[in-house]
Amino acid sequence: MRYRVAAWSLLLLFSLRQPLPAQEKKWFELSSEHFLLFTDAAEGKGRRLLTDLEVRIDAFSQVFGKAPARQFPIEVFLFKNDQDYIEVLPRPKGEEKLTKFAYLMRGPDRIFIVAKDKSPEDIANDVAHALGHVLFERYVSWRPFWLVEGAGEYLRKIERSPDTKSVSEADGFSAADIVTIVPSAAYNDNEPGGAFRTQSYRLLRILYEDKPEVVRQYLQ
């Protein structure tokens, strides 16, 4: 989905924000190297989420190198109330449902993450793959599909349990297929990626762990 309308609304809301009366919700504004966060949940929860995101970016940069600086930080909105969270998201089309704890939205000049008041792990599970794509876009202009998917999963799986789920021979792809497949016209990155996404991530891990210098040369 594209979230440009909602992103504009968020940008307008917080660019015009004023101090709230005492009886209104208290919002906290926090910042880190790559993010600017707003939350009405709690300052501590906001800091834990920022810490989790920055740890992921740091681990990502160890593989791909330090990403070029962005004009604006990625803005994160962490909502305490579920209804407030739902209201800032776009209405789903057709049978699509808003079922995740966090969504990444692209505005005209910056990136937004909108999240429920959940654990950093829950939020990262739903938004880190898309965030991995956003980060990877800053490195190269030519992006093979397998590497894009591998990069997204790399960010999502940081500090998670080892990936040991088997891929059946019937569902799996050969190495030659993995590096040549392109996304179909109906491909939806918000949906689970299946065997291809899993194998792309594992191929990236194998290459980086065995030949990290070759991976960096390839990116260049």
Whether 77 and 40 have beta carbons less than 8 Å apart is answered as no
Looking at the predicted structure, is the pLDDT value of residue 218 above 80?
A: yes
Residue 24 half-sphere exposure toward CB, CA atoms < 13 A: 6
Distance of CA 172 to the CA centre of its chain: 25
Give the total residue count for the chain.
Answer: 220
**pLDDT band for position 216 (cuts 50, 70, 90):** confident
pLDDT digits (tens, 9 = 90+) for 147-162: 999 999 999 999 887 7
Two tokens, residue 214: 């070759």
Does the pTM surpass 0.75? The reply is yes
* CB-based contacts of 150, cutoff 8 Å, min separation 6: 200, 201, 203, 204, 205
Two tokens, residue 49: 């989420």
Looking at the predicted structure, is the pLDDT value of residue 89 above 90?
A: no
